[in-house]
Amino acid sequence: MSSSNESSDLVRVLARKDVLALAFGAMIGWGWIVLTGNFIVNAGSMGAIVAFLIGGAAVVLVGLTYAELAAAMPKVGGEHVYSYRALGHFASFICTWSIVLGYISVVAFEAVALPTVVESLFPGYSVGHLWTLSGWDVKLTWVLVGVVGSLIMMAINYFGVTMAALIQRLVTLLILAVGVLFITGALFTGETTTLQPLFTGGSGGIMSVLIMVPFLFVGFDVIPQAAEEINLPFRDIGRVLTLSVILAVVWYALIVFGTSLMMPASSLGGGVLAVPAAMEQVFQAPWASKLMILAGVAGIITSWNAFYIGGSRAIYALAHAGMLPAPLAKLHPKYRTPTNAIILIGVLSSLAPLLGRPAMVWLVDAGGLGIVIAYLFVALSFLVLRVREPDMPRPFFVRQGKLVGVLAVLLSIGMTGLYLPFSPSALTGTEWLVFGLWMLAGLAMYVWALKTYGKGYAERVMTREYH
């Protein structure tokens, strides 16, 4: 396996601001533009904020387990390394392949979200009927926007993590600038009367928002995937990861609050893009709404970019350890990027627009299950290593670690349960099909790689480089 010694060739070039922009930008995405109105309608203004604070606290607990492990084992692949050391060969594959589904689902989601957003800016641009899928007409120009966007993001990541990090930093600054403009404007011009009702639907309303938190906050886990390219003291990797989650909680809570100050719940919901509409109310001008939609486009770019980075590094780590075919572990001789893994993600995400808008829901839900499965494996790895290797150097040490680990495991199990058949938010048959086909395809490659390279190959690689 010719690439077996290339892990050390990844270059540590990501500074603190790059890492923070990577994680925060990944968590901000497009969801806050389209879903905030529904959150306020379903739970009330304060109910939605409470849901984000509760859900954010849960994600912070899971994030703390990641922070300690990422600082202790700052190697490419993140979950792959921790779960291998704590739980073994097969568990490591299942954990990492599950999170790869989550990452690719977000990348594919953005390839479908982009043409949807463009339609908000340029109504009627979709022409050239191709076919109808699940009652939705797929149009040629609509598909082309998504495919071209995906290929551009693939090219950015292909030509080096430095370029990808620069774009991430600049676009994240644009989102923050527009967000600060909106929040400060809402505080000065908004009316507290529009905050009513503070709570809607009681605990059920809060739960309806809470079940969306795992999807909205996925992204902090991109930091461990790129840990071998981060140029920071190992302790600071954990600190930046934790800070990124806290900033995302504050962001979502402030966006809900600002929107509620500008518009009553009766004006929200349905097809209304609540945050752009509230921005227009702040400045009493249509351009303000367009500016906020552009901030949403920026969110698509930051999320898209971050998950290209995270997904490609996770695939690379699996292939590098002999758990996937060797070509996926190839690094570009000049740019030091996992080129074949990036191309694979680019091809898969470029196919998503061909499925039309229904694909957004299928991909998000199936990928969400993969993400929370990985969270569970990481939390278990955290606990196992605390018991089995208490003296392992931990530059970022979580106090009350066993309590935090147990809570993270329980919360991960709870989040996993949201996707199972007994839950009101259970996956549909199509979504189970997506998840099942993904896992079967991965297992087929895993078995082939195992027969070709043997389990001992992974043991030698992981022992030599990750211990």
pLDDT tens readout for residues 202-259: 877 888 787 777 778 888 888 888 878 888 888 888 888 889 989 999 999 999 999 9
Residues of the chain with confidence (pLDDT) below 70: 1-9, 269-271, 464-467
Tokens at 325, concatenated: 């075919």
**Angle at alpha carbon of residue 145, lines to 142 and 150, rounded to 5°:** 130
Main-chain dihedrals φ then ψ at residue 30, nearest 5 degrees: -110, -15
CA distance 264 to 267: 6
Distance CA 157, CA 407 (A): 36
Query: What's the pLDDT tens digit per position in 412-452?
Result: 898 888 788 887 777 888 889 999 999 999 999 999 998 98
- pLDDT 10s digits, 48-87: 999 899 888 888 888 899 989 988 988 888 889 999 999 9
Quote the percentage of the chain above a pLDDT of 90. Answer: 39
Nearest to 369 by CA among 304, 418, 423, 303: 418
Model's pTM, two decimal places? Answer: 0.87
**Alpha-carbon span 54 to 317, nearest angstrom:** 33
Are 157 and 308 in contact by the 8 Å Cβ rule? The answer is: yes
Secondary structure of 129-142 in the HEC alphabet?
A: EEEEECCEEEEHHH
pLDDT at position 1: 47
Q: What is the pLDDT of residue 183?
A: 94
Residue listed under structure tokens 């518009």? 263
